Amino acid sequence: MQSSNLDQTVHTDTQVPTITDITFKSNNIFDDASARDGSLVTLLFTVSDDSPIPSSTAAILTVTISGQTRTLVGAPDVLDVAGKSKRYTYQWAAPGSPAVTQAGYTINVIDAANNAATASAANVIAVGACVSLCRACCFTSY
């Protein structure tokens, strides 16, 4: 009779994914914290986890910009060979109205073991018809 030394160790993933390197800005060449009608607002961020991040982002990522759910632009950039760190890009076209508002974002990530992480910021970019070369112009009362 032969004996076997099988390793019966079970690893339980309790590590929450991390969301880092967040960049949120518009393509306004004068002020990337301001967006007019038609300006493109871009949210870039990196998600890292102990386990490989699934390819199907719909199941693990929910991103809103200015309260609107956004979809991934292209495929995420894989930052390591094991697929445990990926860089994502989401975009939003700024509307011309209301006259002025503030845009923010929310990123929700759930990994394969249902560990969840959230990153958000409100009132980051001034958006609207009155936004010109200067963000402060929209918020000055006369």
| Residue 61 domain-assigned (yes or no) | yes
| Residue 2 domain-assigned (yes or no) | no
| Residue 24 domain-assigned (yes or no) | yes
| Residue 3 domain-assigned (yes or no) | no
8 Å CB contact between 89 and 97 = no
Q: What gap in Å lies between CA 49 and CA 47, rounded to an integer?
A: 7
Could you report the per-residue pLDDT of 8-61, keeping only the tens digit for each?
777 677 788 999 999 999 998 888 988 888 789 999 999 988 877 766 655 577
pTM: predicted TM-score of the whole model, two decimal places: 0.77
- Say which residues have a Cβ less than 8 Å from residue 40's Cβ, sequence separation at least 6: 26, 27, 91, 92, 93, 94
| Residue 128 domain-assigned (yes or no) | yes
| 33: CATH | 2.60.40.10
Residue 140's pLDDT is: 44
8 Å CB contact between 63 and 47 = no
Q: What is the mean pLDDT of residues 109-122?
A: 88
Domain count for the chain, please give it.
Answer: 1
Domain that holds residue 115: 18-132
| Residue 108 domain-assigned (yes or no) | yes
| Residue 104 domain-assigned (yes or no) | yes
8 Å CB contact between 27 and 128 = no
